Every structure is written in structure tokens, then in C-alpha cells.
Chains A and B, each alone.
Chain A
Amino acid sequence: MAQRVLMKGNEAIAEAAIRAGCRHYFGYPITPQTEIAAYMAKKMPKIGGVFLQAESEIASINMVYGAAAAGMRVMTSSSSPGISLKSEGLSYIAGSDVPALVVNVQRGGPGLGGIQPSQSDYFQATKGGGHGDYRMIVLAPASVQEMASLTIKGFELADKYLMTSMILADGTIGQMMEPITFEDTEVKTYEKPWALTGTNGQRKHNVVNSLYLKPDELEQKNIARYERYKVVEENEAMWEEYMMEDAEYCVVAFGIASRVAKNAVVAARKEGIKVGLIRPITLWPFPKKALAKAAEQVKGFVCVELNMGQMIEDVRLYTQCKKPVSLCSRCGGMIPSPEEVLESIRKAQKGEF
């Protein structure tokens, strides 16, 4: 077995990206994700890669767009306010159907907000921060190990479906250290016949563009893109179920909130409350099937998140409001304690939602 090493979540993302074949990183510093850029700055020059600190977030996302169009495995990383700045570029990348990996190590918002952990960019990530009809694959790691494995997965899915994969992490998982192993797993790569690699006079030139002035042509582009999204929704949803077999109540939480929630589920079980946890690993596509199934099984849901209640809307949507859903949340950089989550579970058992 590979050796266990201690690593920060942010460093794990950077190391995994390099192992996934990423040789182009463009970024701009912001707390709490700067270790990603620092790691890349140190490593990329030694392996023939490119690390470039751009003059702004907008410049860096457009560099990502360019490198993606040239067929490179490319990434950028930022935190909440920086992702807002990158959102124009995310829309252009989506409209051009090129693959990229974008990391958001979230901090509290809105505005400049704070620098402590948050999950308040759920809407922005899953419903689209930029303009137009588009989707991103949104991966929500809950451990340092997953920071690495989902980064590799994110590059693979981006290339497979020609879209952006976003790692939606938070300040806690970015800053914490945990043991991690890098297995020598094979990383999938994909042919990119559409890439702008130079024709060498041998083929018709390729075009990467998001401008379609003829409405019927633009409509067809969007329809074709959504056909692809449908395949992603059918095949790529990932989630973890914990103690759900006999559960009468279900906690739904992702990322760092799911770690706190797990402690509360264990504590509630000790009190004899039959409660389980569904942890969405992909936030888009949302694990609809798991939620629909749970809605037939449990008496109610408790949604735990670090915002004013964002994922709870999807929980209600995909359970078709069949069972009540309560919200246990803190925001602005605060994190609920396991006791607060436990109290919400106790209330659910009493029928208080």
C-alpha cells in the first residue's frame, strides 16, 4: 500500500492535479486557498509546467479558457469573491464547450465577506454564477483524501463531457491536514480532435467560440449541450449513505457540514433515534435518486449547511416536498457544533421541523 502522508487539503488538490496531468495553472491569490498556488509555483517549473500568477481573477480565468481551447488540462483556483470575478469566463468556457477545472475554497459572503469557512456559494456553483443556460459538474469533498480524488475525477469528467468541473470546498477542508495516500491509479485521458493545436496544413482549422448570432443556430447549440448534460445527470451523480438502512430521519449535508453532521448522527443513535445521513458528493448532478428513495422511507429531513439555506431548496425539490425538511445552519464563517445538529435531530423526532 502507498504510504500515508499528512497534507493540507489545498496542497492535496495541487498534488492531485499534477498527477492528473495538469501542466497549466493560472491564478490570483486569495485566502483561504493560497496554498494551491504556492504548491503549483514550487512544482510546475520543475516538471515543465506553467505556473502563472495573473494580474487579476478575470485575466486568470481567460488564460484557463485559452489553454483549454488548446487542449491542455488546465485549472485555476480561488475563493468566493474571486469566483464571482471569474464567472464571466466560466460562462464563456461553457458556451465554447471546452473542459476546465475550477476550485472554489469558499469563505463567508456576500461581498468581500470574511475569510472563515462557508458553503454560501452553493447557488452560484449549482445554478450558475455566469449568464446563459449552462451547468458545471460540482464536486464537494469532505476530506483531504477526497480533495485529491475528486480533483482527478473532476479533470476526467471535464474532458469526457467538455464542461467545467468545479471543486466546491471550504476554508476548513482547505486548511486542515489529514493523512492521505496517492495510489498509482491510472488517470483517464481523452482525445481532443476539436482543440486548437495548429493544422500543420493537414486538416481543416478548428474554431472555439461562444458567439452565435443566428438564433436558430444558438438554440441548436444549447439543445445539444443539454443532451450532454442529461447524460451527466443520469450517470455521474455520487453520494454517500451513512446508517440509512433503518433510518426514520435523514440528515442531508455536504463537505465540512457532513463531518459535523456525522458526529451528531452517531450521538443521536446512542440516544436511540434512528437517523442516517445522505452526503451528496456531486452537488450537480444532485443525487436525486437517493433523495427520492429516502423520501419514501423516512419521516423527515434535516438539512445542515453553512449558509442561510441553499441546498435545502434542492432537498425539497427532489423529495417533492413529500416529507418535512428543517434547516440547521450557521453562516458568515461560523460552523454549527455537533450539539446544535443533534438538537435539530431531536426536534425532528418530536415532529418539529
Chain B
Amino acid sequence: MKTTQILIAGFGGQGILFAGKFLAYKGLQEELQVSWLPSYGPEMRGGTANCNVILSDTPVGSPIVTSPDVLIAMNLPSLQKYIDTVVPGGQVYVDSALIDVKVERTDVEVFYIPATQMAKDNDIATLANMIIVGHLLQNHPELDFDGAAETVEHLVPPKKAALIELNMKALNLGKEYKN
């Protein structure tokens, strides 16, 4: 039995929920059991957003992620709030363009990716989320990177078809980034 609990957290507007949706659809594509739970409360209205995604080869019990195997932190408050909840041996993805502290825990694997800066430099300013997701896919062979284009096509509405290519650009930047 393998279950991966993912927590993605940051500001509203950073594409937190979209990144989660991408991972959930990717899981669906790989015929895994999945759940996706957004924050919809006062937190979201006040500016922070987070999203719980569970990918499993057995039916998902509680959809609420309390001890993530993977944390994606896209701002400092999110990193501070959730870093201690990550399971030992878990992975932490940090947008190091926005977070200038290092993770003190030594029992987790940390990936520092200056995603927001990379996105700006490549004229895809709103797609820092997908750069991090691209790097995550690289570390998770069970989420086959080759099928990513299909997942993006599924998520982007036909009216915004131009975004497909940009999302793929972001995913590839993340994939190729050397930590």
C-alpha cells in the first residue's frame, strides 16, 4: 500500500488550488485513488490558500492531510505553519525566491527552487506553482512526466488554449532545475 499525502500552501493568486488539481488529475491518469480538498474558509478570504491532495493505490480514507509526505510552501507563513507536520523522511519544496530562510529540520528532504524568480525571468510570471510541480514530478516517477501535457490539456479550458504551452514550459523548467 502506498499513499502520498500532499499539502500545498501559499497566498491566494499563486495557483495553489490549480497545482493541487493538476496533481489530482495526474493521479487519476495513473489510475490511482485521489482526493483534493481546498481551503474555502476565512483563510482564503484573508489571502492565504492551501490545498490537500492524497494519491493512493487503495481507497482514500480521510481527505484531510494532517501529516504530509510532501509539503509545497510558496510563502514564509505557510512554511512556518506546516514544516513541523511533515512526516520524517518527507519532502519539502520551498519557493526560495519568496522564502529566504532555510529549513532547520534535518530529517526531511528539502528542495529549494527560486520558482517565482524563474517564472518572472521566463515571462510566465503566474506559473511559479507549475515550476515547483515540474520539479516534484521529476522526483516522483509514479507520476509519469510524459503524460503531463495531457493532464494540462484536461485542466485548461479551450478558451485559454494558449496557456497549455506556458504550463508545459513551467513544468519543463522545474523538471530541468538542478537543486
Contacts and interface: CB of A to CB of B under 8 A. Distances in A.
B61 A172 contact: no
A259 B60 CA distance: 8
Contacts of B42: 114-115
Interface in B1-49: 21, 24-25, 28, 33-38, 40-42
Q: What range describes how many residues of A lie at the interface?
A: 20 to 34
B64 A116 contact: no
A179 B61 contact: no
Contacts of A243: none
Nearest to A341: B62
B63 interface: yes
Given A175-B37, A176-B35, A176-B37, A260 B61 contact: yes
Interface string A166-191: 00000110011111000000000000
Interface stretch (A59-67, A209-217, A331-339): A331-339
B40 A178 contact: no
Contact of A178 (B21, B25, B60, B62): B60
A262 interface: yes
B122 interface: no
Contacts of B60: 178, 259
Contact of B34 (A116, A179, A266, A337): A179
A333 B61 contact: no
B66 interface: yes
B40 A31 contact: yes
A130 interface: no
B6 to A, nearest CB: 14
**Interface residue SS majority, chain A:** mixed
B26 to A, nearest CB: 11
B62 A263 contact: yes
Interface in A232-281: 256, 259-260, 262-263, 266
A263 B61 CA distance: 6
B147 to A, nearest CB: 15
A46 interface: no
Q: What range describes how many residues of B lie at the interface?
A: 10 to 19
B40 A171 contact: yes
Interface in A31-90: 31-32
A6 interface: yes
A176 B28 contact: no
Nearest to A265: B61
A350 interface: no
Nearest to A263: B61
B36 A177 contact: yes
B157 to A, nearest CB: 13
A203 interface: no
A171 B60 CA distance: 18
A175 to B, nearest CB: 5
A4 interface: yes
A259 B36 contact: no
A172 B28 contact: no
Which of A32, A259, A266 has the largest number of chain B CB atoms within 10 A?
A259
A115 B41 contact: yes
Contacts of B34: 6, 178-179
Closest 6 CB pairs of A and B: A177-B36, A263-B61, A176-B37, A260-B62, A259-B62, A262-B61
Interface of A: 4, 6, 31-32, 114-116, 171-172, 175-179, 256, 259-260, 262-263, 266, 333, 335, 337-339
